[in-house]
Chains A and B, each alone.
Chain A
Amino acid sequence: MIQTASLDLRDPATFPSRRVEAWKYSDLRKYLREAPSPSPSAPVPVAGGGPFEALGGEAMVFVNGRAVGADTRMVCGEQTLRLRLISKASGTGHSVSARVAARAGARVLLLETHEGEGAAYVAHTRLDIDIAHDAEVTRIVLVDEPEDALSVTQARVKVEPGARYRQTIVATGARLQRLETEVAHHARGADVRLDGLYALSGDRHADLTSIVTHMAADGQTSQLTKGVVRGTARGVFQGKIVVERGADGTDARMGHHALILSDRGEIDAKPELIIYADDVQCAHGNTVGTLDESALFYMQQRGLSAEEARALLTRAFLVEVVDRIEHEGAREEVRAWLMARS
């Protein structure tokens, strides 16, 4: 468990402070001491289907925490779901609880967008994803929130034997923005890819935290997170992979690579591998650096301004994560979305 008591916006006793180890770098209590007033209901958007509109499928929409239709979906066969989490609140708080279950053999493209249109709101999202054996879920998350919002998204994913889970989170930060993913990996041929990127400027904060527990033998996990911070922004990566006793044949790889592009930007990275099994292949790599000076000079020598050279190198650095998205249409939408924001 990432956190012992689950977060409940009505109960300040559940707001973690940095004294809770898992929240050391994202001190929610610093910004939130009292329970926020509940967000009012807001009109459902009639025009526009969100950032992934072009990919069609069915929409699951929440506005200020209220489900416009169903909050649970069971999928058989092939389905594209656009999970739109819209916040139109100012200074108030709301929670969403949603569930997506992929039945055996199903293929789900879950396109999740956090569309923050208000100001200084508090949003909490709890998402349960169950993936039955031989099913596949691809979850792509775009988070676009105002700089003064607080938002915590907690996804619990159950991956049954032989299932596939693919996740890519793209975060642009807020006053505090945290995306947790907790994967119960039942292995036996199941395959998990858990990617993320953060591109932060100003005073924004984004936290990508994950814990994957390999509970049985022969499971794979591959994780690549990349980030860039500018200004006084702060990026947090906490990745934990636990290989339980008996989970032999586990293949787990984790990488986190970040660039600090300003004097006062900050990155906190905590990669952890906890291994109780004997016969496993596990590796992790973590680098934090800055743009390569010789590459910048080379590009300027060919005529690019210093600013253009930095932008091109930065995008090229981040886009590796986007390139790992297998669904072509989704990949191109994410690429365009990111280019407009980095």
Chain B
Amino acid sequence: MLKINNLHVSVADTPILKGLTLDVPAGEVHAIMGPNGAGKSTLGYALSGRPGYEATEGAITWRGEDLLDLDPAERAAKGVFLSFQYPIEIPGVPALTFVRTALNAQKRARGEEEVSAPEFLKAVKAASKALRMDFDMLKRPLNVGFSGGEKKRMEILQMALLEPSLLILDETDSGLDIDALRIVAEGVNALRGPERSMLVITHYQRLLDYIQPDKVHVLAAGRIVASGGPELAHQLEAEGYDRYVGEAA
């Protein structure tokens, strides 16, 4: 279970999150919706430990462990995965090499045995097929020259291979056409399970038609200002965020 209690986060001394409290029980999918500038991406970065996103107050615990004490790689080994809104291009490092290096680094950190090359290849082939990705693309440098949709699929592929337990999806729907969105959502839904928690960060309700949340929270001006069931997303789609922006200010 993910517990965020009274979290305050500043970026370059500017407070962005101002007392955010949120619980995501194991096996649940929670959506975070909110207007631009509410702090949605900051929440993803704070959970994954990005340098420069300083927690000045409050706590984050994942499965009872304090995350704020851990560096990004240690958090990854504990199962934290952030799917980036804009996945980064890594010139010179083939996607396959990168994912295998990451998987083995996580396994080493957990004291598990590393994955062998044939085992890994088999897993990659199955996962890329499910996401309808061209296997040859994975021999190319990670994300370099990939389209927006290909980059997002690459994120989901990494998710499938790294098997994280806390999945944070930051605007995964941005830049996807409807077919790509369906494939990506299928990939995410395949990862739903009783042991996994997911935070789906999105501006629009559209993604939530495909990845159905157990709960929806509204993030405005750095705090959760409303929570409800899936119907809250539809209400936001119809009414917009104005009401919450006014309320938070």
Binding site for B on A (CB under 8 A): 292-295, 297-306, 308, 312-313, 315-317, 319-320
Contacts and interface: CB of A to CB of B under 8 A. Distances in A.
Interface in B110-150: 141
Given A298-B84, A308-B105, A303 B73 contact: yes
Given A298-B84, A301-B48, A303-B103, A316 B92 contact: yes
B152 to A, nearest CB: 14
Contact of A294 (B48, B88, B105): B88
A301 B103 CA distance: 11
B101 A297 contact: no
Given A300-B73, A303-B73, A304-B101, 4 more contacts: A294-B88, A297-B50, A302-B158, A306-B71
Nearest to A305: B73
Contacts of B89: 295
Given A293-B51, A297-B50, A297-B51, A302 B102 contact: yes
By size class, the interface of chain B is: 20 to 34
Contacts of A315: 92
Contacts of B81: 301-302
Shortest 3 CB-CB contacts between residues of A and residues of B: A316-B92, A303-B106, A302-B102
B248 interface: no
Contact of B101 (A293, A295, A301, A312): A312
B105 to A, nearest CB: 4
Contacts of A297: 50-51, 72
Contacts of A293: 51
A133 to B, nearest CB: 37
13 contacts: A293-B51, A297-B51, A297-B72, A298-B90, A301-B49, A301-B75, A301-B81, A303-B103, A304-B102, A306-B73, A315-B92, A316-B92, A316-B141
B93 A316 contact: yes
A302 B162 contact: yes
B92 to A, nearest CB: 3
B207 interface: no
B21 to A, nearest CB: 24
A317 B92 CA distance: 7
Contacts of A299: 90, 98, 102
B82 interface: yes
Contacts of B158: 302
Of A292, A298, A316, chain B has the most CB atoms within 10 Å of the CB of A298
Of B99, B102, B109, chain A has the most CB atoms within 10 Å of the CB of B102
B79 to A, nearest CB: 10
Contacts of B48: 301
Nearest to A309: B73
B189 to A, nearest CB: 22
Given A293-B51, A297-B50, A298-B84, A303 B92 contact: no
